[in-house]
Structure 1
Amino acid sequence: MNNSFLARIAIAAALAAGLQAPATAQGIGIFNNIIRQQQLPSAPASLGNLLAPAAGNRGAAGGELIQLLMQSVDHVDEAHEIEIGRQLAAVLLGSKPLHPDMALQRYVNRLGRWISLQSARPQLPWTFGVLNDPGVNAFAAPGGYVFVTKGLVDRVDEAELAGILAHEITHVTDKHHLQALRTKARAGLATQAIGSQLNSNLGGAVSAQLLALGKDLYSSGLDQGDEFAADRNGVTLAARAGFDPYGLPSVLQQLRSAAPDNPLFSLSLRTHPAPQLRLDQLELAMGNRLDAYAGKPAVPLSQRLVGR
């Protein structure tokens, strides 16, 4: 990694610490207006609303979804993709509940929805949430479900959070989870799950097959190439939405300095490529091509939450 790329990341890190730097591109005025006018949908008020089946897709059986996955991701239409995502979201929420701060949930949902509108699939029923977990991590599920942990939110500014959300949104738009599920299903993990006794406080709301695949997916992580692609396309998406593209690299700098045995970072470090490797790949992809969109003043999340 060369010094110029480190310097550009340092600008983002300095801004996150509350220092000012000259703006070199337009700010995020459109998003500011959206936040003030509250034109984007707010977060779900309850777990039940978040996991409500998509219209016209009620009753999709886990076996049917698994069969579609094992054929080809191309056989999974959008309605079934959303249903798979709903069931995988149940896996995540069965492990960690939503954080009770509804002002925070509304803000993250609006921020995520704004970024998702700039993505390749704005029509998905995007839903964002904050998990009540002190660890530092983020997750996504097919069909437009994206989660960040409270521990992550507490350590980032708005541009950094936007970079993380854009990374996760890219996983969804590029169907990375569906591809990973297909690989695992064809490897026989779904068949092995049939008849097994799996503990879940959601009972029969999630099929045993998808539950097993989902748990394995979130504990092992996505393919390394998918993570690099989500980094590359995520910084571009964040810039397109009006945010500093160096927000995501700044978060990776934080991960790089984390102790490997720190339990707050352990899952994120275990399920993703090494932060230094991700930074190296981003340097090759970004160069100085996005510098015109960098250098925006940092916006602390606490400022966004005032009066929410």
Structure 2
Amino acid sequence: MAGTAVALDLKGALKDAVNNQLGGSSNEQAATTNPENASAQDKLANINWKNPSQEDEIAVGRNVTGTILGAAPLVNDAKLQAYVNKVGRWVASQSERTSLPWHFGVIDSTDVNAFAAPGGYVLITKGLYQRLTSEAQLAGVLGHEIVHVVQRHHLKVMQKQALMDAGTSFLKEKISKNKITQRAVTTGAEISARNLDKSAEYEADSMGTVLAARAGYDAYGLAEVLQDMELLGSNDGSVALLFQTHPHPDDRVAQLSLVSGDQIDKISGGKTLENRLYKLK
């Protein structure tokens, strides 16, 4: 596999973002005493929501990810984080947005789920990681989330929210620019943890499968994970949220087969790499 492992330290990078109350007095005080925090707040306060730049996208995604990590921290296993980061960056290098500063990590949650935020931030839960049986399956899951970022699925929803709030601000002069971004970031955290529309999920499944195959992995990795989720059933507490916020795994597999046709067979033949999957302590 190309690339080198880079240890992921999102906790350090996001230490000033876990509290995303952008207009609160605690943040104002922190910005006064911490120049780096002040700079981050300035970036968030000046997001161009009509046409967000890549820098805007990264700043927003950093804050959304901080909100998620505030609820569930990273698993305290540096080798695990470095391994997932290595696989994720390799799969992301097959996408159209290689210039993003991609970050991947495993959060300490027993739920079976994964999240993406704008700007190249991808997190999967420990509960999901523990169910994987091969590196190809990991690549498929990460590929799905990478596509959400590449296609700006979450950012588009956040942008719509921000522009709606900006219109309200113009008409009523009641919402500050900071508040507009705060509400958009909150929306981003909610949709990252909850749901996008079905078309976005199906697109992420099909394109994510292609990215994993391009990276040299067996193309059936993601489909295998979806089938495993189906075996768990919607009554299993660990996948309850996923079943509520995503199309049914059976529907996702059927749609993946429909879109891919026999193409998935043509690109299969990659490696599964069961023995290379990092084993949790």
TM range, smaller chain: 0.7 to 0.9
* Equivalent in 68, 75, 80 of residue 92 of structure 1: 68
* Structure 2, unaligned runs of 5 or more: 18-35
Task: Tell me, yes or no, if structure 1 residue 42 matches structure 2 residue 6.
Answer: yes
- The aligned counterpart of 1:102 is 78
- State yes or no: 1:266 paired with 2:240: yes
The structural deviation recorded for 1:84 is 0.6
Conserved in 1, the CA contact under 8 Å of 2:219 and 2:270? no
- The 2-side partners of 1:228 and 1:238 are apart by 15
State the TM-score, normalizing by the size of structure 1: 0.73
Provide runs of 4+ in structure 1 moved above 4 Å. Answer: 50-54, 186-195
Q: Deviations over 1:6-43 (max 9, x none)?
A: xxxxxxxxxxxxxxxxxxxxxxxxx1xx4xxxx42412
Aligned to 1:117, which of 93, 99, 114?
A: 93
Task: Classify 1:77/1:263 alpha carbon distance in 2 versus 1 (closer, same or farther; 3 Å).
Answer: same
Per-residue displacement from partner, 1:102-139 (whole Å, max 9, x unpaired)?
A: 11100000000111111111111000000011111110
- 1:275: how far off? 1.1
Q: CA deviation at 1:51?
A: 5.8
1:219 Cα deviation after fit: 4.6
| Inter-partner Cα distance in structure 1 for 2:204 and 2:257 | 14
RMSD between aligned residues: 2.9
Higher relative contact order (CA 8 A, sep 6+): 1
Secondary structure, aligned partner of 2:115: strand
Structure 1: tracts of 5 or more residues without a match = 1-30, 196-203
Counterpart position of 2:40: 58
Structure 1 residue 297: Cα displacement: 5.5
Any idea what the Cα deviations from partners look like across 1:164-192, whole Å, max 9, x if unmatched?
A: 10010011011001112123345559979
Kindly indicate whether the alpha-carbon contact (under 8 Å) linking 1:190 and 1:209 is maintained by their aligned counterparts in 2: no
How much does 1:211 deviate? 4.5
TM-score, L = length of structure 2 = 0.80
**Aligned residue runs from structure 1 range 220-299, under 5 A:** 220-296=194-270, 298-299=272-273
Tell me the distance in 1 between the aligned counterparts of 2:264 and 2:89: 23
Paired residue for 1:138?
114
Amino acid of the structure 1 residue aligned with 2:6: S
Counterpart for residue 28 of structure 1 = none
Give the structure 1 partner of residue 141 of structure 2.
Answer: 164
Counterpart of 1:183 in structure 2 is 160
State the Cα distance separating 1:248 from its structure 2 match.
0.6
2:215 & 2:155 partners in 1: Cα distance?
25
Query: Aligned equivalents of 2:68 and 2:215: distance in 1?
Result: 27
Identity of aligned residues (%): 37
| Secondary structure of 2:238's aligned partner | coil
Output one character per residue of 1:251-300: Cα deviation in whole Å (capped at 9) or x when no partner. 11112222212110011111111111111111111122131332556423
The DSSP-based 3-state class of the residue aligned with 2:191 is helix
CA contact (8 A) 1:190 1:212 kept: no
Report the Cα distance in structure 2 between the residues aligned to 1:190 and 1:142, rounded to whole angstroms.
23
Structure 1: how far apart are the matches of 2:8 and 2:209? Answer: 27
**Partner Cα separation in structure 2 for residue 109 and residue 219 of structure 1:** 20
Corresponding residue SS for 2:46: helix
Alpha-carbon deviation of 1:210? Answer: 4.0
Equivalent residue letter for 1:106: A
8 Å Cα contact 1:91/1:214 also seen in 2: no
Aligned to 1:13: none
